[in-house]
Amino acid sequence: MNHYQPAFDHFTTTFHGTVIRRGQDGHDAAREVWNAAGRDLSPVLIAQPHDAAAVAHAVRFARGVGLPIAVRSGAHSPALLGTIDGGLVIDLSALTAIDIDPATRRVRVQPGLTWGEVAAALHPHGLAITAGDVATVGVGGLTQGGGIGWFVRKYGLAIDRLRSAELVTAAGELLTVSETEHPEVFWALRGAGANLGVITALEFEAHPAGMIYGGMLAFDASDPAEGARLLTTFARLAHDAPEALTVQGLFMAAPPAPFVPPHLVGRTIFAVASVYSGDVAWGDAVMAPFRALAPLLIDLTGPMPYPAIFQLTDDAAVRGFRHAIRSGFLDDVSDHAARQLATEVQIMQPGQIVQLRPLGGQMARVPAHATAFAHRAARFVLMVGQAVPEAGLDPLARMIVDRMFAPFEAHVTGLYGNFAGLQDAHPERAAYPAGHRERVARVKAQLDPHNVFARNVNVRPHVAERALA
């Protein structure tokens, strides 16, 4: 710190916000992120700006003294992209303004808000924005990577509802980008935005929501053949279902929750989490094929306000665990792969989960070339995760995740950037096809030629991307 103490002193006295220095009280708490592996990293400074001008100030300061930058919204990145060792974290958690125009459905939000907070603010107006499975996931981070959420089949990705954004560039300049203002930047921002700068505001067009029919069903999957049948039948039913229904199929150990009978705790179950955003009167009929998958162990489905669905994923918001994760897009769920997976999950570890989410619908109707997010035609996204409480268990967690992911690895066609994990090598190659990488690289070369914003699923400027394909 002594090397740039005068610059640091000037920054802290002129910065509009809070600056926390390594070694100060509160630094450990301020650097905490969802993936507790982030405790292995220690930022020199954490800056919490109170407005866009302060964000720009932080960027200029970091560039001036040569500090690498990480940008943090909700801090849910499995790959720890929201923190950095020996650098500056720009923590956007104080930027939480929201402005709603119910008449036009236009919603201006700042990136420090969480999707749970946005859902709660929009619900009284009968509105929502398609994104976020977990209430504590940040608006800014999830949107930049695409935004697969509870309404993805009916209303597409979060970026498909995005109408404009405010961006602080590597030069510390503030840009407003949209289809008509800096349209090429707006193209790249929708899927690769973290490469371009710091988003300080987003304007969405919300969609109708209000009451939904949703919740969770659970079935006994403690027999491998039955687990495989549940998975493949679920995948087929989900694609035959109305687009107003978005579902997830999950293998997990039955948790010690009040709604789980004690004799089921720890047993491998296959759960179906759902949101049906059509007429709730049709909810029973829409879910009937899923209820008929097998004898029900648990049925927690019914009409509810949309924000209540986040109660299903409360466990995923808990901090203090270290996470291993593998993921990718799939075009099919073969019987062979399903049987292999169903065998692997017979003894599920605490904190272990396999999530299969069928896609399609409105997400698939947007052309792949329309945004930097390219995986429009994918039929499924698969995520395998393991949470452990101690660093010494990291190798075991990685081994478990690799074994469960192995049946599908040869069939994965790409990567959802928001699910990038520490085990992914060259995630940018999987997240962005060669043509998309080249286009993002050209935009980045204009806005960030020195790759100041490199702590992300990084597309480097001035790189012959085709040679890396």
Q: Model confidence over 52-110: pLDDT tens digits?
A: 999 999 999 999 999 999 999 999 999 999 999 999 999 999 999 999 999 999 999 99
Is pLDDT of 462 > 90? no
Q: What is the 3-state secondary structure (H, E, C) of 160-176?
A: HCEEEEEEECCCCCEEE
Displacement of CA 350 from its chain's centroid (Å): 22
Is pLDDT of 4 > 80? no
Is pLDDT of 138 > 50? yes
Q: What is the pLDDT of residue 211?
A: 96
Q: What is the pLDDT of residue 2?
A: 60
Per-residue buried b or exposed e for 298-334, using 16+ beta carbons within 10 Å of the residue's own CB: bebbeebebbebbebbeebbeeebbbbbbbbbbeebe
106-115, 148-157, 186-195, 260-269: which range is least confident on average? 260-269
CB 183 within 8 A of CB 268: no
Q: What is the pLDDT of residue 447?
A: 97
Rounded to the nearest 10°, the torsion over CA 69, 70, 73, 74 is: -160
Q: What is the pLDDT of residue 3?
A: 63
pLDDT in tens, 170-185: 999 999 999 999 999 9
Average pLDDT of the chain to the nearest whole number: 95
Split at pLDDT 50, 70, 90, the class of 467 is: very low
Q: Which amino acid is at 88?
A: L
Q: What is the pLDDT of residue 258?
A: 82
DSSP label of 285: H
Helix, strand, or coil (residue 22): coil
pLDDT in tens, 418-438: 999 999 989 999 999 999 999
pLDDT in tens, 257-285: 888 888 889 899 999 999 999 999 999 99
| Residue 74: exposure state from Cβ atoms within 10 A (0-12, 13-18, ≥19) | buried
**Alpha-carbon span 430 to 365, nearest angstrom:** 21
Mean pLDDT of 116-139: 95
Q: What is the pLDDT of residue 261?
A: 85
Strands 88-91 and 45-49, bridge-based pairing: parallel
pLDDT in tens, 315-357: 888 999 999 999 999 999 999 999 999 999 998 988 999 999 9
Q: What is the chain's Cα-based Rg?
A: 22
